Structure 1
């Protein structure tokens, strides 16, 4: 269990994320553990891959082997709760407790997320410690640990999600940024900053700060969105906006044929009824939709299937045909048996990774009937039995990739629609009988333009995340950052470097702990003090094209470094001014900071 923590802000121990130091008490250390079997069980049952050793590390004590697995499981639990912890951390020391036999004290450096409450960190590492110790000592580990899944979901993951209630897309966005070397930082309120200075971009889930506020609001109102698109010459279904049952019945009479009835301002398929074909069905569909919104859209059904096109900064990255949730036959089992088998397979997955259960209820029977099937039908090998009329977020679905066969004219209307609403990332839904044919040939129409579409939910989405990051960011999002360590001479040297970087075309800023200079050496008053704080402020300023830090005190030994790496680090003559950190001599502090930075003389 955690007995001490030092939650400092910056980079101290070579991790790719800002870190904090924890001291974790192991009340006992299990011996003679089959670590290979243990790691395989953890990796399979918790879906959290466990490595036997940290890269380049040889563990001399059994306590270190235990601790390494605790770090990996704690990181995995946080990721499962969508808290962006992408590395387990490092073991700094493991020592026997001199006061209590059999007890070990392990000091570790682990990733730290700004604004994440200390109790959330404690929860993750205390549970990981208990879990690893108990399972390592267990004589028999369950093949289907459903009780453990439920316990972790309710007592660990739900509280962790509440501490940082980000959506499902963000963990994929930030993980991709990490893989691409794009620096990021949490700003609070589920907003993250990717990159630095003039290359910075703020995001929340898959919303980007460059999205048009007016366009985003319009896109979320289905009637307004359709008016915008119709006026722009884009294909949309005929529809009426209604507020009561009489209006819905009149709209149904005017439209004729099959209709779709849906709330005007909800997503995820909530309150949507398709195949409305009678006044009674229209009345019932209106009541359902009105339970979600005060305004309801009655729309003429468009022939075909919904296709999701992800548009990022003017390019379609992938296209999937969104089929309803379905089970696949093997030529022997009935549909009902296929559903049971599919649900049994899902029960082997951790609760937090488990998709919605395959339904066999009245809507499923209706969908089967439309396909000429019943629950007792034997489903042919390779054939699919739909369990819903359409795909929805609530029930999931079956995505078929059409990225390589999408017709260029359909690409064009998707790109135009995203641009119309000013969205950097948009999920454009096109209903078409054949997305490989042009929309104007087969009567296809744009159903919706989705703000902040879900990312990472399909293999098609996962496969394009790196391209998405490349389209969003200017390179790796970094600007040149340098540091000069020393006394008064450090400021003189920094000003010289500023002139050099300015000559290379950079809007270069210089800051010490007490003074900040803009391009050309113009003073820039800031309402904060300290080198670390001023650096963070400048890295968030889109006017900043390059930055040079002047380290004249040993402050960074306490706060940690504000960035994970520097383009330039120099040391000049003179010692740092000592602060309260550690009580070291000025010479020792200067040597330590220069070593941490890898300074050249």
Structure 2
């Protein structure tokens, strides 16, 4: 069973994410392991791209008993990280093996101490759940890979027993994982604040993100954008091209709206997303009534809309800049001149079904709706489309059914980009997905009757190649300075505070609002005492990193607390020492102050890139502040 031995979500210099220490229990290790076969199984059945073991591992030789246990642990860590990502948990590093030793209580067993990523607000039992599952899976496949041939059953067990419980404790949208992965790759700090809400960056440069909404979005604008009827009224009054529609309360009113608009029509719920309940190409009263009933089943407010010619294009607007334009087309199969549409559907679905079920896209349909779409295009399931021809299986693209996307970013007409930016600004959205229906997005909207169909306050990010390519630009537009602020540390007892005040004054002379905190005292940019309910350097540092008023931070290390709790930052810009001994955080701890200082400095140097600490003689004396300092032990 996995045990959590250190649960503080702190940086300790071993991972790029906040970490915790676990103890893994390997009940047994097979004496003979076909390593290439094991790795091939993990790659082919779980989609896992195995990383090579870290060269510093003392048990890298897989032939020794300890080496076998260590090699298995390294694979367990990678499987556990992959399962957490499948549950949309932002775990981007497998972790690090700290020690492996024989289990004295269980002959043939091994114990491994490992450092792995810690996600705030994820309970310890959930962490243990996924590492227990990964341990059982890797040991089982290593011992007998032939016993894991019924993959659908295995996938279902993992889904029900591991992934669903993980998703239940951390409900994260589809956009969050690729956005956070990009932030991790670019060295942008982030933390989970609970309920799928994340803080990217620190202090004055931090921002909040939930799904793909950002904290700087207008709450009123978000609410209005979700109501298609009111949103269109806003756009129309702002001089933007919007749909012509009417809200109806029953089938009779829907038929009356047709008399005003003519055919074809679109029927949609007013307040649903992702294409839910939308029916297009309505050309008869019977289909109009049916479409109304479908939409009314999802919302009490239904729109009947005049359908305009063209295809929907999604434009991503971030702080007034269009980052990409995608032509969104319904799910379809592409002909090869040889196979029937039915065979093309079967082949496409076989590719999806070979993947773990959590990595699959929606299967290609061959139901009544698909048959109707094929018939409209002059096809049937027995038709053999020419090479390159597309046979549509749905009339519209949606999250439920999937779809195709063609990048039109470089061909977008500037006038169409302009109305997209105007629409985002109208609703006060820093991140918006603007849907423009146009017969030709390369031509101006005012020449071909294009309209802004919807304004989406939470557009999907990172779900296509085009979108993934723009994520670095998204983060650059949203965050200043990689989201970071200068963070420095002063180490010592009473004199460290004077050093910190000296550095604070130097920052202030540059016009930078610098805060200072020790484990028991916090000072604002003007040197005033900031009362805090929290005690401890870690807790107070975390509070200041969330404070938009903080443009620089100096941490005062006066005790050995960092050895127990770590730091809330992964990187230090400057490390300064006074040469004084440190006090122990806990009573009864070793009184060897010099050794304690060396250990603390060794830890802090790992966060400052190994740079030698700077010895500074304090030049500022603040007796009134020093008297307020409480060195609780």
With normalisation by structure 2, the TM-score equals 0.93
* CA displacement, residues 253-294 of structure 1 (integer Å, 9 cap, x when unaligned): 111121100000001111111111222222211111111111
Cα distance, 1:589 vs. partner?
2.3
Q: 2:624 aligns to what?
A: none
Residues 416-456 of structure 1 show CA distances to partners (whole Å, capped at 9, x for unaligned) of 11111111111111111111111111111111011111111
Q: Which residue of 2 aligns with 1:54?
A: 54
Shift of 1:137: 1.2
**Equivalent residue for 1:40?**
40
Counting only pairs closer than 5 Å after superposition, residues 120-159 of structure 1 correspond to structure 2 as: 120-140=126-146, 145-159=151-165
Aligned counterparts of 2:595 and 2:75: Cα–Cα separation in 1: 35
CA distance in 2 between partners of 1:317 and 1:581 (Å): 57
Which one of 583, 597, 603 corresponds to residue 596 of structure 1?
Answer: 603
Name the residue aligned to 1:357: 363
2:532 to 526, 530, 534: 526
1:24 aligns with 2:30: no
Distance 1:376 1:600 in 2: 77
Cα deviation, 1:157-185, whole Å, max 9, x if unaligned, reads: 11111110111110011111101111001
CA distance in 2, matches of 1:573, 1:281: 83
8 Å CA contact retained: 1:259, 1:299? yes
**In structure 2, how many angstroms separate the alpha carbons of the residues matched to 1:118 and 1:310?**
38
Corresponding residue of 2:500 = 494
The answer as to 2:411 corresponding to 1:392 is: no
Which residue among 516, 521, 524 is the counterpart of 1:515? 521
1:10 partnered with 2:17: no
Q: Does 1:555 align with 2:564?
A: no
SS at match of 1:134: helix
Is residue 76 from structure 1 mapped to residue 79 from structure 2 by the alignment?
no
Query: SS state of the match for residue 115, structure 2?
Result: strand
Quick check: 1:242 aligned with 2:248? Answer: yes
Cross-structure match for 2:485: 479
569, 583, 586: which one aligns with 2:589: 583
**Structure 2, unaligned runs of 5 or more:** 62-66, 606-612, 616-633
Q: Is the 8 A contact 2:560 2:582 kept in 1?
A: yes
Count of residue correspondences: 601
The separation in 2 between residues aligned to 1:172 and 1:424, in whole angstroms, is: 19
Partner Cα separation in structure 1 for residue 448 and residue 37 of structure 2: 57
TM-score by length of 1: 0.98
**Is residue 260–residue 300 contact of structure 1 (8 Å, CA) maintained in 2?**
yes
SS in 1 for 2:388: coil
Cα distance in 2 for residues equivalent to 1:31 and 1:12: 35
Does the residue aligned with 2:10 lie in a helix, a strand or coil?
coil
Offset of residue 246 of structure 1 = 2.0
SS class of match (1:464): helix
1:300 match: 306
2:316, 2:54 → 1: CA distance? 38
Instruction: Give secondary structure in 2 for the equivalent of 1:476.
Output: helix
1:502-541: CA deviations, max 9, x gaps? 2222100111111111112121111221111111001100
How far, CA to CA, are the matches of 2:527 and 2:484 in structure 1? 22
Partner of 2:542: 536
Matched, 1:105 2:107: no
Cα separation, 2, equivalents of 1:52 and 1:512: 41
The offset of 1:587, in angstroms, is 3.0
Alignment partner, residue 609 of structure 2: none
SS of aligned partner of 1:404: helix
Q: Counterparts of 2:521 and 2:344 in 1: how far apart (Å)?
A: 69
Moved more, 558-567 or 93-102: 93-102
Which whole-Å CA distance do the structure 2 matches of 1:593 and 1:455 have between them?
41
Indicate if the aligned counterparts of 2:57 and 2:97 stay in contact, CA closer than 8 A: no
User: RMSD across aligned C-alpha pairs, in angstroms?
Assistant: 1.5
Q: Structure 2 vs 1, CA of residues 214 and 581 (structure 1 numbering), >3 Å: closer, same or farther?
A: farther
Secondary structure at the aligned position of 1:346 is classed as helix
Give the Cα–Cα distance (whole angstroms) in 2 for the partners of residues 101 and 583 of structure 1: 35
Asked whether the 8 Å contact 1:489–1:573 carries over to 2, the reply is no
C-alpha distance in 1 between matches for 2:224 and 2:209? 20
- For 2:276 and 2:242, locate their aligned partners in 1 and report how far apart those are by CA, in whole Å: 20
Moved more, 588-597 or 16-25: 588-597
Structure 1 residues 143 and 461, CA gap change in structure 2 (3 angstroms): farther
Distance 1:289 1:483, change over 3 A: same
In structure 2, the partner of 1:198 is 204
Aligned to 1:167: 173
Distance in 2 (CA, whole Å) between partners of 1:426 and 1:582 is 57
Q: Per-residue displacement from partner, 1:209-240 (whole Å, max 9, x unpaired)?
A: 00001111110000000001001111112111
* Alpha-carbon separation, structure 2, partners of 1:519 and 1:237: 52
1:486 CA displacement: 0.8
Q: For residues 278 and 331 of structure 1, what CA distance do their matches in structure 2 show?
A: 35
Give the whole-Å Cα distance in 2 for the aligned partners of 1:244 and 1:83: 44
Cα distance, 1:94 vs structure 2? 0.2
Q: Who is 2:622 aligned against? A: none
1:13/1:19 contact within 8 Å kept: no
Quick check: 2:38–2:145 contact (8 Å CA) kept in 1? no
The runs of 4+ residues in structure 1 deviating greater than 3 Å are 55-58, 141-144
2:2, 2:25 within 8 Å by CA — same for their partners in 1? Answer: yes
Are the equivalent residues in 2 in contact too, given 1:83–1:171 (CA < 8 A)? Answer: yes
Aligned partners of 1:555 and 1:581 also within 8 Å: no
User: What is the DSSP-based 3-state SS (H/G/I as helix, E as strand, rest coil) of the residue aligned with 2:54?
Assistant: coil
Q: 1:482 to 1:467 in 2, by over 3 A?
A: same
> Contact 1:144–1:348 (CA<8 Å) still a contact in 2?
no
